[in-house]
Amino acid sequence: MNIAGRKVLIFVEHEFEDLEMWYPILRLREAGITVDLAGLKAQTDYLGKYGIPVTTNLSFEQVKSKDYAGLLIPGGWAPDKLRTYPHVIQIAKDFQRMKKPIAAICHAPWVLISAKIVDGYTMTSFQSLKTDLENAGAAWVDKEVVVDRNMISARMVADLPAFVKEFICILENSTHSTSSPIWKIVQRYPDQDESCLR
C-alpha cells in the first residue's frame, strides 16, 4: 500500500531523546509521510536532552486523532512530563480506541501506562520501566522491537532502525479496522525479504 500523504503525529516536550525524535522524523518524511509535531504550544521550539531543537506545528488541543495514521512517542525525560497532560492522555486513548498504530520507544511507554491502555499487551522499553509496565498489566520482554497488535515498542537509541522500519511497515499495511487486530509479536527485526505481516 502506498503511504505517501499519510500523516503521523509525534508528541513533543522538552528533554526528549534527540535521536529518538529526529531519526523517526527523517525516516518517515523519506517515506512520504507527513509528520505533525504537537506540544503544549504550537510554533514553539523545544530542546532535546542534548540541545537539538524541534519546532511544533500544533498544540495538543488542536490535534484531531482521526486525521492520523499513527502515533509515535520518543523517549528521554519528556514522557514523564507528557503523561501529566490531560490532552496527551486523551489523544493516546483515542488512537487506542481506533486501534491505530502506536509506537513508543525507551521511556515513552510511561504515557501509555498513564493512559491505561497497555493491559494485556506484550511490550519492551528501557529496562527501568519493566516493573511499571508489568504493574499496568503488560508482559515485558527484552527485545529490540516488539509488535503486539497495534502497539510497536523498542528499548533504546540502538533499536531505532528496527523500530522505525517496523512502524513504517505497519503503517503501509494498516487498515485501522477495529475488527481486524494488527498482527503478532515480533522479537527481532525481519530480514529485508520478509514482511512485517509474516
Collapse the DSSP code of 57 into the 3-class scheme (helix H, G, I; strand E, B; otherwise coil) and give the result.
coil
Collapse the DSSP code of 54 into the 3-class scheme (helix H, G, I; strand E, B; otherwise coil) and give the result.
strand
**Annotated catalytic residue within 14, 107, 169, 196:** 107
Whether residue 40 contacts residue 59, with contact meaning beta carbons closer than 8 Å, is answered with yes
**Annotated catalytic residue within 106, 169, 176, 196:** 106
The C-alpha atoms of residue 120 and residue 111 are separated, in whole angstroms, by 16
Whether residue 148 contacts residue 166, with contact meaning beta carbons closer than 8 Å, is answered with no
Give me the residue label for grid cell 490531560: 86
Active-site residue, 106 included: yes
Active-site residue, 107 included: yes
* Type of residue found at 181: P
**Active centre residues (catalytic):** 106-107
